[in-house]
Amino acid sequence: MKKLALLVAVIALVAFAAAPSARAADTIKIGAAFALSGSIAVYGEGFKKCIDLAVEEINAKGGIKGKKIEIVYEDNKSNPKDCVTAVRKLITVDKVPVIFGPAGSSNFMATAPVAQENKVVLISAQGAAVGLTKAGDYIFRVFPSDTLQGPHLAKLAMSKGYKKVPVMYVNNDWGLGLKNAFVDAYKKMGGTVTDIIAYDEKKTDYRTELLRASKGNPPAIVNLTYINEGAVQFKQAFEMGIKTQWLCGSAARAPKMVELAGKAAEGVIGTYPSVPQNTKAYQAFKEAYKKKYGDDKIPIFGDYNYDMVYVTARAIEKGGYTADGIRKALPQAAKGYKGVTGDKTFDNERSPKFAEYGIWVVKDGKIEDYKK
Amino acid sequence: MDLLLHLAIVIAIYAIFALSLNVEVGYTGLFNFGHVAFFAIGAYTSALLTLAGFPFTIGLLAGLVLAGLCGYLLSIPALKLQGDYFGIATLGFGEILRMVVNNEVWLTKGPMGLPGIPRPDLFGVVFDTLPAYLALSGGFALVTFAILAFVVLSPFGRALKAVRDDETAAEILGKNAFRFKIKSFVIGSVFAGLAGVLWAHYTTFIGPGDFTLTETILVLLIVVMGGKGTFLGPVVGAVALIFFQESVRFLRLPPEWTRLLGPLQQMVFGLLLVVLMVFRPEGIIREKGGRRGD
Amino acid sequence: MDSISYYLQTVLNGILAGCIYALFAMGLTLIYGVLNFVNFAHGELIMWGAYFLFLFMGEPFGLPLYAAILPALALTGCLGLAMDYSVFRPIRRANRLTLLIAAMGLSVFLRNAAQFFWGAEVRTYGLEVTAGMRFFGLTITAPQLAIIAVTLLCVAAVYLLFFKSRLGKSMRALSDNLDLARISGIDTKRAILAAWVISAVLAAVGGILLALDTNLSPEMGVINLIKAFAATLIGGVGNLWGALLGGMLIGLAENLGVLFISPGYKDAVAFVIMVIILLARPYVIIGERSD
């Protein structure tokens, strides 16, 4: 047994001695703590593709002041504890001044205090939770806060005549925040929330929650859910014979959800921060993506990640390759900058000031914009 | 260098955790499979209090007291059970606690966890650098080791072993077995709480996912592999296993591999437990005069 | 759905869950009775049974559901035998706690092996989603009907095996007293092998039914193990009918329980029942086998 421990120790020593320590002087390293394995790996892989595309484009044009950008990817294994570890590692081992943060608002918010404490800039391209950036002035996001989405979802429900709805939501920072934003706005518009049901992520069986939500045959159910969870829920609801209008937020709006749920997802409607796709910039982005990866299905939130790279690059160019410099330069770099997802100006809380919301619907197995 | 400091800190914390379990498992023969619950109680108590603005000393004390108190309350009914039924009942308790932590969002923020736990501020010194934290946790580890060594080498400790080996005989000799077991359980719970407090303030983020069966198995493996019923055993076990677990995290591997690393590591742990039970249940450091297979 | 349907549906869900737990519990109590230890890795037999089916339905085998079931059950049976041969047989005589820890280690190993091969994400058998059928205001899907039918079948098969065959008699003898059975010239080796195969197959059947109803994940075994154990305790160690009853009770208690408590605590119901039984009936230990 002692020999086994010794052997293991030797292997470990050799292995981490082989790990590179100092950074090469002539690349601009940016950290990225993404879900490359685990239950939300589907997001992380998509982000990586769009980020790599942006980096390639910038480097082809000479990089930042002649230096090429290099992204150091760290797998966060889809859970908050490993997100914190990943961010810590990027800060202490790779010593990067700026990090692209993990998907999943709770995951991101777990890492924010670490970044703030170590004075490293942390940016989110898909965190919608209310209060995402409250950990401090090193925390930014290029994705609109749900304080803006709640009222739109409430308006959608009222405009379709649903004055009484039960609300189901994922029990985490994102779900909780959007639920609160929705309920506040909905009540103000005269709506009544008949039941509030929180559920855990990553379960395989939601029938208890679905049964409860469908009690009394409500014509509509608000379900603030994710891709995998949503797919399981819509399928099980379909099997249970629950007939209702599903109203969702933005997180389930993904081709993967429709793929997993099959025909059970037909007719699902939701709101999302809409990005006009007929602009020249968006079309060019789509073209470039297609050229590099062979298909033009932009992964969910991929467009925001693409913009995040560009905004960061501009900030590094203006403010220098230090955490403090980037932090100070980001508002300027983003002001008026029109990325593929629109105007990226920050507000006082380092979230995007401007956001428009559209309505999506699953029709014939595809996600489309909803036309009333 | 940072990696070594990180390793040393985690080893110190887990050494405390393992030493505490050893008092129950190794010395008293109580197989507590819910030990992680007291780790969690210590962690959450201190985290919640310090996040609410109370000083670290309060958080620490409250964590220890609450862990010990819960240990006492659980032990009274649970100790009526023998052997593996006790194990399963304590396992049930651990899981129930985790579910409570997960569901009572108003108290513990449920699955979102508690981020931003402040670093300890003791006697005016803020322990926010790695060397400082190593000094803190290492200091506590040494104190724990000293206290527990004193306890197990004392007549009390010998009585515990007597109760473990042959309860009836011990009773005949006038020892109230039940009272000894309770004391042992409370001591174990208090120090598990200490480990939890140190853990929370080190990682600055805790969630219910940190206190699952996996952690129980890890600490059990440490105690069993290191040699239960000895006082160096848990330390040796902690060094060996934590070294293996944490250093592998820092390897530079392509992402296609890192997704396999986690399960692979756990497979090794599981296999180690099995191999140990079959070939050397006493562990690395053999107990003097201990029975094989105990 | 309206109130009456709501409650009826809950009861139905309870029965369905109960059937599955009964299958799990019967397998667990069998080994517990014959070999006198809790196979903590039973949950992984459940999980691997489901994943073996997944394996055979996918590449490179590509078998349809019905054809893939038999190889899946066979492989799980082999897994059970392998577990006994490599781990439990060498320590057959050891302390009960040693056996429990070894089983825990095995459970961790098998669980992570599944995650290693198939990842941590939820998987499905890929069957097309179909609406359930409606009877008297209740909805039931085809897999759910299968659960009830298959459980009845298994119970009947187990009854025939245990009470109408010589092998069954041997197993019951072992259950009563292992040493005495050995001395009496009963072929203990065969009986033990049979017990493992049956236990594993029951686990696999339950696992497959569960996965058909709710999809696969490497963690699906663990929580079900605890529920199976609770059911075993209710029914009495080694008592197959007790396990059946216990399973049904737990299934119903869980589902009816969430009418009153938050769905997040559903899994806790089985735990709480188990802890209560353990604490309220410490005599269950005394009523045990002498060896």
Chains that touch C (3 or more CB pairs under 8 A): A, B
Q: How confident is the model over A18-28, as a mean pLDDT?
A: 57
Nearest to C263 among A204, A212, A262 (CB): A212
Amino acid identity of residue C223, one-letter, is: I
DSSP B26: I
Three-class secondary structure of residue A265 per DSSP: helix
Which residue carries 């197990």 as its tokens? B152
Q: Are residues A190 and A80 part of one domain?
A: no
Q: Are residues A362 and A225 part of one domain?
A: yes
pLDDT-derived band at B292 (thresholds 50, 70, 90) equals: very low
Q: Are residues A288 and A267 part of one domain?
A: no
CB pairs < 8 Å spanning A and B: 110
Which structural domain, as residue segments, surrounds residue A193? 147-273+358-369
Does the beta-carbon distance from B205 to A114 stay under 8 Å?
A: yes
Nearest to A16 among B102, B128, B250 (CB): B250
Q: What's the pLDDT tens digit per position in A315-364?
A: 999 988 999 999 999 998 888 888 888 888 888 888 988 888 889 999 98
Does the beta-carbon distance from B270 to C109 stay under 8 Å?
A: yes
pLDDT at A2: 54
pLDDT at B84: 72
Q: How far apart are CA A317 and CA A326, in angstroms?
A: 9
Q: Say whether residue A36 is in contact with chain B using an 8 A CB cutoff.
A: yes
Q: Say whether residue B213 is in contact with chain C using an 8 A CB cutoff.
A: yes
Contact list, A89 vs chain B (CB under 8 Å):
249-250
Number of domains in chain A: 2
Average pLDDT in chain A: 86
Q: Specify the pTM.
A: 0.84
Q: What CATH number was assigned to the domain covering residues C3-126+141-280?
A: 1.10.3470
Nearest to B111 among A73, A114, A200 (CB): A200
Q: Are residues A168 and A75 part of one domain?
A: no
Q: Are residues A283 and A137 part of one domain?
A: yes
Q: What's the pLDDT tens digit per position in A122-159?
A: 999 988 888 888 888 999 999 988 888 999 999 999 99
Six-digit token string for C65? 């559901």
Put simply, the chain C residues between 4 and 33 with a CB less than 8 A from any chain A CB are: 6, 9-10, 13
CA terminus-to-terminus distance, chain B: 40
Contact list, C94 vs chain B (CB under 8 Å):
277, 281, 293
A351 assigned to some structural domain: no
A77 assigned to some structural domain: yes
Nearest to A173 among B112, B244, B262 (CB): B112
Q: Residue C137: which region, alpha, beta or left (left: phi > 0; alpha: psi -120 to 50)?
A: left
Nearest to B270 among C96, C108, C265 (CB): C108
Q: How far apart are CA C39 and CA C102, in angstroms?
A: 9
CB C287 within 8 A of CB C174: no
Six-digit token string for C147? 């659960």
Beta bridge partners of B125: B122
Beta bridge partners of A197: A168
Q: Are residues A288 and A239 part of one domain?
A: no
Q: How far apart are CA B206 and CA B113, in angstroms?
A: 5
How far does the CA of residue C290 sit from the closest CA of chain B (Å)? 15
Q: Are residues A177 and A40 part of one domain?
A: no
Q: Are residues A223 and A138 part of one domain?
A: no
Q: How confident is the model over B111-117, as a mean pLDDT?
A: 83
Six-digit token string for C38? 């809790």
Does the beta-carbon distance from C121 to A263 stay under 8 Å?
A: no
Q: Say whether residue A114 is in contact with chain B using an 8 A CB cutoff.
A: yes
Six-digit token string for C166? 């010589």
pLDDT at A11: 55
ipTM: 0.84
- Quickly count: other Cβ atoms within 10 Å of residue B173's Cβ: 10
Does the beta-carbon distance from A9 to B240 stay under 8 Å?
A: yes
Q: Are residues A264 and A292 part of one domain?
A: no
Encode A227-251 in three state secondary structure: HHHHHHHHHHHHHCCCCCEEEECCC
A78 assigned to some structural domain: yes
Nearest to A73 among B116, B255, B259 (CB): B255
CATH of the domain at A136: 3.40.50.2300
| A348-362, B60-74, B241-255, C262-276, range with the lowest pLDDT | B241-255
Closest alpha carbon within chain A to B281 = A1
Domain ranges of chain C: 3-126+141-280
Contact list, B116 vs chain A (CB under 8 Å):
112-113, 135
Q: What's the pLDDT tens digit per position in A248-294?
A: 998 888 888 888 888 899 999 999 888 888 888 889 999 999 999 98
How far does the CA of residue A102 sit from the closest CA of chain C (Å)? 18
Which residue carries 């298994």 as its tokens? C154
Q: How far apart are CA C250 and CA C118, in angstroms?
A: 30
A241 assigned to some structural domain: yes
pLDDT at B266: 86
Q: Are residues A121 and A20 part of one domain?
A: yes
Ramachandran angles phi, psi of C234, nearest 5° = -60, -45
pLDDT-derived band at B252 (thresholds 50, 70, 90) equals: low
CB pairs < 8 Å spanning A and C: 75
CB A171 within 8 A of CB B111: yes
Q: How confident is the model over C40-50, as a mean pLDDT?
A: 94
Does the beta-carbon distance from C265 to B99 stay under 8 Å?
A: yes
A90 assigned to some structural domain: yes
